[in-house]
Structure 1
Amino acid sequence: MEQMNYSFSVCSSELDYDAYLAFLLENYAHIRLPYPFPVTLSFLASPLLMGEAAFLICNEDNQVIGAFSYIRGTGERQYEDRHIVQIQVACIAEEHRCTRLFLYALQYFTQYLAHGEEQVQEFRFFAPSDDSLRRLFSKISSLTASLETDSGPLDEYRASFSEWQSYASQFRQTALFNS
């Protein structure tokens, strides 16, 4: 089995944010959110504009092969319900998609949030209504709603933070953050 070497980093500079947006725009077709481009762009940029975190996944040659981000809170509650984390986007370049990298990203993300100052209780995210995505996401979350948007069908998923931590801990882990 080929050794996979990936690194994760939190965007912290203008160059990082440029790399984050450039990667997502280059992979726009793979994101598949059923919204017009301006709406999708607002999802991609909202973590940067709201002061939340965006992440890069790089290969051993330090090329960006993935990106993901989140915001805290929901629009319905004017983003005051900060115990809820909404994943705005998660995209891995098609040629790098594999279970191992997905699990490593899940472990990195849950460890990152566990070491943060604010407690997380719930994750929420939206994805296109698609049987293959439903099979994948059913392993880590519950489908809570299916919505018909002007641009196509969309599914909403939710999971507790403890469920994600429990799922991620079933697999070999490395402590990625100091306690």
Structure 2
Amino acid sequence: MDYYFSPCITNMYQHRYVDFLLEHYTELKLTYPFQEAFSYIVSPLLMEGVSILCFDNEEETAGAFSYIYGTGEHDYTDRHIVQIQVAFIVERHRRTGLFAKALQYLLEHIEADESKEQVTELRFWTACNDYNRRLFEKFAERYAMAENECGQMDGYRVLISELRTYLDRLQTRALV
């Protein structure tokens, strides 16, 4: 199946991004209370971040992801770090290669943004479970663990250069 990505620049796409993620809120399995989770969903729209929708060849929304520049620990001044705020792929589009395509698009989008400081690192948090660890430890280092009233979370980070190497290896395997 073919996919394409669209940054949410217009109000219509921004609404579609928020509506899509709220429609799939329970499937997101975010380990935060709703108010905090909602702030992560909308923060890229309010903080010079980027939100992106993914569409399949039938024009159906297959996924969404977003990121901001900087981390809360450093009051968002460490803009060489991009932090993924939310990433979601609809169940029927998982295990299709869409995840790798989304990572590739994310990397290209970050590298193409000349208005920002050069990004050297990508960070994200996920629910702490074996599935997520198997998936994310293929390309990122687990560097932190945290717990709140909604569960345990793992923090991951990967250098942009290492992510590029990982994606190049995946693409080479796909061609063989």
- TM-score under structure 1 length normalisation: 0.91
Q: Does 1:73 align with 2:78?
A: no
Q: Does 1:83 align with 2:72?
A: no
SS of the equivalent of 1:172 reads helix
Range moving further from structure 2, 143-152 or 153-162? 143-152
Q: Distance in 1 between matches of 2:38 and 2:139?
A: 26
Q: Does 1:126 align with 2:99?
A: no
Q: What displacement does 1:99 show?
A: 4.8
Cα RMSD over matched residues? 1.2
Range moving further from structure 2, 113-122 or 44-53? 113-122
SS of the equivalent of 1:156 reads strand
The alignment-based identity, stated in percent, is 44
1:17 alignment partner AA: Q
SS of the equivalent of 2:171 reads coil
Q: Does 1:6 align with 2:10?
A: no
State the match for 1:157 in structure 2: 156
Q: Deviations over 1:108-149 (max 9, x none)?
A: 111111111131111110000010000000011011111111
SS of the equivalent of 1:81 reads coil
Q: What displacement does 1:172 show?
A: 3.2
Query: Is the contact made by 1:44 and 1:89 (CA closer than 8 Å) also made in structure 2?
Result: yes
State the match for 2:42 in structure 1: 45
SS of the equivalent of 1:8 reads strand
State the match for 1:145 in structure 2: 144
Structure 2: stretches of 5+ with no match in the other structure:
none
State the match for 2:57 in structure 1: 60
Q: Which runs of 4+ in 1 moved over 3 A?
A: none
Please, which of 73, 94, 99 is the counterpart of residue 97 of structure 1?
Answer: 94
Corresponding pairs, count: 170
Which structure carries more helix by proportion? 2
Please, which of 111, 131, 136 is the counterpart of residue 108 of structure 2?
Answer: 111
SS of the equivalent of 2:170 reads coil
Q: Distance in 1 between matches of 2:171 and 2:141?
A: 24
1:139 alignment partner AA: K
Please, which of 4, 19, 25 is the counterpart of residue 22 of structure 2?
Answer: 25
Query: Is the contact made by 1:147 and 1:155 (CA closer than 8 Å) also made in structure 2?
Result: yes
**Aligned pair in 2 of structure 1 residues 99, 59: CA closer, same or farther (>3 Å)?**
closer
Q: Deviations over 1:68-105 (max 9, x none)?
A: 00001011211111000000000000111125111111
